[in-house]
């Protein structure tokens, strides 16, 4: 049973991806239904995984001496990632029925999304580092191909290439780490590594630890490797909601949480993780307050929230981090899908041209507002509980100044959330007309996600028990819903945090006065808007590559004789090297 569930979680979407591809773009209705059926079936299959979690591999595929055994382990961390990938994935697919309606290349679109869902479930469930790397790279490829889905748009193509280049850094870090671990412990199994890690040499362990941190930073778009995520917003919006908000960007946090017991003792590792999270949370939140593109603003907020999760891992709060990951996946998917509905209805992503949409799109407005509640961390939404949990953990375990910064970050979050909300749904009517306020398939996805935002925090108890039961090396603290609520209501921190959140919102509301009082120099705002100049090295790399290729173009003359000359020259060099005995 367990074997079937685990394998179907990965194989089902992949079979679906081939099926959609084979349908042909002439039968778009068939493609919509095949994709939805396979996606929803995967979602159900991943929920069935909850019935029998295990801490040892249930699927073992022996691959010989070098590759070791490829294993799939449905433990708590893996199951939660698979569930997020397939459930949010199926909702994104359902949403796409309306959003991608009439697109001429649906086959490619659905095939890639289903391929991604399978790979993401696999990434969570794999127990062997080599298999994990394999799935990790597939998700990067799908992300690239879907960002560049509109391949006649140069911005989309360059965004896709950028995402691919940056996340490849991460992939290389992961592969090198896996190979080092294999050469020292003789096994690719994550469980074996976590068991033997304390016995390994500390220098070696810190090399692997920081390599994995780099991998996580690239994948989770953490400062300073975050620049690919805002550019990835050229992807169709359901893809953004699925890959660049709910699932793939979580892989970095997942990696850190998964290997936390091994690197916990490494000197400076926890501090570095914490600081990476802190920097990303604050700087990205600042950028979100300056962005006028609704998707880019949400993308910066994703980076900032991922920063919170990484910070939580850095202070050892694995459960708080994973709980926020779950909450964030649900509410950010809701916000992005809501933004997608708005973008489809208005035909623009510029929030300055929107406004007063609450009357024209009441349903989307209501669901979006629930999402905003969760993002800002207001009570009853899942984001409130998970963020309070992280902050409280930070107060107890982490350094105080970092905690205070994160608290200020919560205020910033409220600021930009209110800004996005008012610019889109309140105020003066924009110049654009609403064409089509949310067709039924969109409404279904939005309604389910909104219900999820209001209810997923109820799973806190079951979730913590699941993690504690199936992760032998992590020290997860088990909680019950009542004690969680009790803890949060009784903690004075909750009220302080709420005060900060209200203050952040008020700052936006009375922004004219605030701006007058604290004159922010134009240079500072420009610096923030330009993304702190992080893009400069990246563009330099791209420019150098392009220049070099232009210079080398003369070598491609197509002259046969010239090519032969090149071949003989290379032969001569090789011969001299051989004779010199190098």
Partner 1 sequence: MELSSLNILFIGAAALLGIGMYGMLVSHNLIKIVVAIQILVKSALLAMISAGLARDEIQLSQSLALTVIVADTIVAVIGIALAVQVRRRIGTLDVRELSKLKG
CA 550 – CA 187 distance, rounded (Å): 45
Dihedral Cα 556, 561, 562, 568, nearest 10 deg: 120
565 binds partner 1 (CB under 8 A): yes
By C-beta, is 183 or 561 nearer to partner 1? Answer: 561
By C-beta, is 519 or 553 nearer to partner 1? Answer: 553
Please give the structure tokens belonging to residue 477: 């603290």
Residue with tokens 């127990």, as numbered in its chain: 127
By C-beta, is 435 or 555 nearer to partner 1? Answer: 555
Element (H, E) at 61: strand 59-62
Among 52, 525, 568, 576, binds partner 1 (CB under 8 A): 568
| Least distance in angstroms from the C-beta of 582 to partner 1 | 22
For residue 533, is it left (φ>0), alpha (ψ between -120 and 50) or beta? Answer: left
CA 324 – CA 304 distance, rounded (Å): 12
Residue 557, exposed/middle/buried by CB under 10 A (0-12, 13-18, 19+)?
exposed
Segment contacting partner 1 by CB under 8 A, of 232-240, 349-357, 419-427, 554-562: 554-562
551 binds partner 1 (CB under 8 A): no
Among 203, 400, 554, 582, binds partner 1 (CB under 8 A): 554
| Least distance in angstroms from the C-beta of 571 to partner 1 | 8
Segment contacting partner 1 by CB under 8 A, of 158-166, 277-285, 355-363, 548-556: 548-556
| Least distance in angstroms from the C-beta of 545 to partner 1 | 17
Segment contacting partner 1 by CB under 8 A, of 22-30, 185-193, 447-455, 552-560: 552-560
What three-state secondary structure class fits 215?
helix
Q: Which of 314, 180, 173 minimizes the C-alpha distance to 256?
A: 314
Q: How far is CA 288 from the centre of its chain?
A: 17
By C-beta, is 26 or 552 nearer to partner 1? Answer: 552
Segment contacting partner 1 by CB under 8 A, of 132-140, 357-365, 428-436, 556-564: 556-564
Do residues 255 and 135 lie in contact, with contact meaning Cβ atoms separated by under 8 Å?
no
| Least distance in angstroms from the C-beta of 551 to partner 1 | 11
201 binds partner 1 (CB under 8 A): no
| Least distance in angstroms from the C-beta of 539 to partner 1 | 25
By C-beta, is 204 or 567 nearer to partner 1? Answer: 567
| Least distance in angstroms from the C-beta of 579 to partner 1 | 14
For residue 61, list its beta bridge partners: 70
By C-beta, is 480 or 546 nearer to partner 1? Answer: 546
578 binds partner 1 (CB under 8 A): no
Segment contacting partner 1 by CB under 8 A, of 212-220, 367-375, 525-533, 557-565: 557-565
By C-beta, is 515 or 567 nearer to partner 1? Answer: 567
| Least distance in angstroms from the C-beta of 568 to partner 1 | 5
Half-sphere exposure in the Cβ direction for 178 (13 Å, CA)? 23
Among 26, 558, 581, 582, binds partner 1 (CB under 8 A): 558
| Least distance in angstroms from the C-beta of 548 to partner 1 | 14
561 binds partner 1 (CB under 8 A): yes
What three-state secondary structure class fits 150?
coil
Please tell me the count of residues contacting partner 1 according to CB under 8 A.
Answer: 11
CA 545 – CA 543 distance, rounded (Å): 5
For residue 458, list its beta bridge partners: none
| Least distance in angstroms from the C-beta of 566 to partner 1 | 10
Among 429, 525, 546, 557, binds partner 1 (CB under 8 A): 557
Among 435, 482, 553, 578, binds partner 1 (CB under 8 A): 553
By C-beta, is 523 or 553 nearer to partner 1? Answer: 553
The sign of the torsion formed by the CA atoms of 419, 425, 426, 431 equals: positive
Strands 69-72 and 59-62: antiparallel
Segment contacting partner 1 by CB under 8 A, of 205-213, 422-430, 456-464, 549-557: 549-557
Map the footprint of partner 1 across residues 61-100, applying CB under 8 A: none
Element (H, E) at 270: helix 269-288
559 binds partner 1 (CB under 8 A): yes
Question: Interhelix angle for 382-397 vs 481-490, to 10°?
Answer: 70
CA 285 – CA 253 distance, rounded (Å): 18
Do residues 252 and 125 lie in contact, with contact meaning Cβ atoms separated by under 8 Å?
no
Please give the structure tokens belonging to residue 480: 């019950």
CA 150 – CA 324 distance, rounded (Å): 32
User: Helix (H) and strand (E) counts for the chain?
Assistant: 27, 2
By C-beta, is 546 or 557 nearer to partner 1? Answer: 557
- Radius of gyration of the chain measured on its C-alpha atoms: 24
By C-beta, is 516 or 550 nearer to partner 1? Answer: 550
The sign of the torsion formed by the CA atoms of 211, 215, 221, 227 equals: positive
564 binds partner 1 (CB under 8 A): yes
Among 199, 435, 551, 560, binds partner 1 (CB under 8 A): 560
Do residues 304 and 285 lie in contact, with contact meaning Cβ atoms separated by under 8 Å?
yes
Map the footprint of partner 1 across residues 281-340, applying CB under 8 A: none
Does the bond joining 224 to the residue before it have cis omega, within 30 degrees of 0?
Answer: yes
Window 502-541: contact mask with partner 1 (x via CB under 8 A): ----------------------------------------
Binding site for partner 1 (CB under 8 A): 553-554, 556-561, 564-565, 568
């Amino acid at each position: 049973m367990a074997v079937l569930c685990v394998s179907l979680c990965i194989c089902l979407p992949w079979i679906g991806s081939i099926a959609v591809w084979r349908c042909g773009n002439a039968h778009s209705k068939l493609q919509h239904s095949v994709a939805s059926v396979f996606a929803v079936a995967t979602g159900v299959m991943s929920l069935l995984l909850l019935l029998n979690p295990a801490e040892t591999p249930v699927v073992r595929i022996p691959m010989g001496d070098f590759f070791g055994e490829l294993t799939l382990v449905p433990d708590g961390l893996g199951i939660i990632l698979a569930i997020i990938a397939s459930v949010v994935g199926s909702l994104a697919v359902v949403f796409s029925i309306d959003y991608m309606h009439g697109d001429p290349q649906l086959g490619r679109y659905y095939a890639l999304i289903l391929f991604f869902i399978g790979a993401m479930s696999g990434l969570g469930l794999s127990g062997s580092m080599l298999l994990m790397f394999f799935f990790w790279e597939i998700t990067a490829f799908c992300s690239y191909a879907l960002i560049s889905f509109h391949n006649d748009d140069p911005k989309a193509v360059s965004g896709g290439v950028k995402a691919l280049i940056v996340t490849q850094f991460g992939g290389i870090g992961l592969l090198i780490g896996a190979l080092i671990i294999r050469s020292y412990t003789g096994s690719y199994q994550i469980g074996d590594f976590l068991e033997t890690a304390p016995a390994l040499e500390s220098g070696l362990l810190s090399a692997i630890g920081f390599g994995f941190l780099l991998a996580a930073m690239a994948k989770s778009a953490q400062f300073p490797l975050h620049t690919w995520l805002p550019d990835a917003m050229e992807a169709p919006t359901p893809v953004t909601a699925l890959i660049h908000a709910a699932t793939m960007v979580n892989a970095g946090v997942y990696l850190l949480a998964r290997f936390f017991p091994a690197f916990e003792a490494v000197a400076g590792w926890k501090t570095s993780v914490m600081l990476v999270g802190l920097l990303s949370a604050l700087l990205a939140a600042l950028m979100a307050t300056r962005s006028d593109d609704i998707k880019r603003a949400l993308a910066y907020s994703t980076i900032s929230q991922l920063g919170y999760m990484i910070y939580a891992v850095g202070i050892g709060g694995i459960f708080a981090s994973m709980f926020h990951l779950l909450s964030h996946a649900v509410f950010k998917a809701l916000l992005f899908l809501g933004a997608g509905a708005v973008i489809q209805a208005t035909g623009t992503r510029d929030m300055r041209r929107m406004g007063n949409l609450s009357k024209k799109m009441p349903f989307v407005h209501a669901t979006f507002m629930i999402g905003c509640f969760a993002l800002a961390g207001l009570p009853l939404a899942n984001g409130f509980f998970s963020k309070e949990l992280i902050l409280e953990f930070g107060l107890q375990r982490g350094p105080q100044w970092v905690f205070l910064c994160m608290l200020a970050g919560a205020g910033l979050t409220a600021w930009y959330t209110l800004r996005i909300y008012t610019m889109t749904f309140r105020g003066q009517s924009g110049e654009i007309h609403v064409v089509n306020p949310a067709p039924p398939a969109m409404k279904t996805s939005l309604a389910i996600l909104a219900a999820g935002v209001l209810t997923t925090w109820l799973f806190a108890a079951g979730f913590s028990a699941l993690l504690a039961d199936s992760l032998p090396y992590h020290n997860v603290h088990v909680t019950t819903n009542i004690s969680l609520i009790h803890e949060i209501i009784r903690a004075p921190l909750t009220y302080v945090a709420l005060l900060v959140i209200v203050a952040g919102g008020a700052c936006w509301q009375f922004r004219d006065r605030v701006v007058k009082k604290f004159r922010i120099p134009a240079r500072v705002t420009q610096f923030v808007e330009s993304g702190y100049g992080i893009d400069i090295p990246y563009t330099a790399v791209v420019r150098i590559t392009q220049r070099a290729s232009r210079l080398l173009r003369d070598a491609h003359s197509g002259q046969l004789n010239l090519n032969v000359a090149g071949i003989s020259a290379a032969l001569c060099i090789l011969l001299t090297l051989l004779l010199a005995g190098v």
